[in-house]
Amino acid sequence: MRIVTWNLWWRYGPWEARRTAILATLRDLRPDVVGLQEVWERDGENLAGWLADGLGLHLAYAPSPAPERWQRKIGDPAVGMGVAVLSRWPVTERAVLPLAAPADLDDGRLALYTRLATPSYDVPFFTTHLTSAAHASAVRVQQVGELAEFIAAHRGDTPFPAVVTGDFNAFPDSDEIRLFGGVLTDPPVPGQIFHDAWRYADPAAPWATWDPANPYVARYGHPPARVDYIQVSPPGAGGLGRVTSVRRAGDSPVGGIWPSDHAAVTADLSDGADPGAPAD
C-alpha cells in the first residue's frame, strides 16, 4: 500500500500551474491513499476533488471552520481551506476534529479521520495540519494530545495499523513529535504509540520537506526542516502495515513549476503477505 502526505500550499503563488504539477506528480507516484493539507475550494470547485477526478480516487474533504485569516492573506473572502483524503478504496466512515488553539493563533486547523474499506481489511487513516507558529510548541503539544485521543476513539477493531499523515509544523526532536510517538516519553493515550516512517529512510536520502532549494521557501531565509510526517502504529500479524520504504517526493519542478512549498513524503506499507515477519 502506497501512502503519500502533502501540504499543497493552499491557493498561493501560481496556483493554476501548480495544481497541474501536483496532479502530474501524484500520477507518477501512483498512491493508494493520500493525506492532503491546505486544500482550497472556491465557487463549487475543490482542489482535492479535482485531483481525485484526475486520479480516479475516492474523496473525503473537511473544510476549515475559520478560514478568515487565510482569506485575508490573499485578499479573497470566497476561498475556503481544509484537509482531505484521497483513497483507492471507498470511504465508509469519516469524522472531523477541530484542533484547539488560543484566539491569536486559531485559524481553523483540523484532523480528519477516514475508514477505508479494502477487500481484505479496513484501514483507519487520518490526516492533520497543526498550528504553524514557530513559538507555539505548547499549542501543538495540546493538539497532538487531542489528536491521539481522536485516533483512539476511531481506531476500531481492524488488523491494519492506524496511519496518521500530515503537516505537524514541528521538528522530529520536538516535544510534540516525541509525545505523539509515545516511545521517548509517555504517550497521551496509554499504550498507543506510533513509528515515524522516516526512520526507515535511507540515511543519505534528502530529508527536508521544507527546503530552501525550493524558491517558495528560499525567500524566507529559514534553514531546512522536516515537518511533514507519515506516522504508523505497530504492524499487525505477518508484518501487516509494516513500513517497507519511504522517501521524499514532489521535490523538484514539473515543467518549470514547483508544485508546492512543501515536499511530499511517500511510504510503502506491507500487505502482510510475509508470514515470517514478526509484529512489533
Listed residue (89, 80, 1, 35) closest to 264, CA to CA: 35
Q: What's the pLDDT tens digit per position in 79-115?
A: 999 999 999 999 999 999 999 999 999 999 999 999 9
Q: Do the beta carbons of residue 260 and residue 6 sit within 8 Å?
A: yes
Listed residue (32, 35, 21, 36) closest to 55, CA to CA: 32
Q: For the chain, what's the residue count?
A: 280
**Which residues 6+ apart lie within 8 Å of 45 measured at CB?**
none
Domains of the chain, earliest start first: 2-269 (3.60.10.10)
36, containing H or E segment? strand 33-42
d(CA 67, CA 73): 10
Would you give the DSSP letter of residue 178?
H
Summary mean pLDDT of the chain: 96
127, containing H or E segment? strand 122-129
Q: What's the pLDDT tens digit per position in 189-237?
A: 999 999 999 999 999 999 999 999 999 999 999 999 999 999 999 999 9
Q: What's the pLDDT tens digit per position in 45-82?
A: 999 999 999 999 999 999 999 999 999 999 999 999 99
- What's the pTM value of the predicted model, to 2 decimals? 0.96
Q: What's the pLDDT tens digit per position in 160-172?
A: 999 999 999 999 9
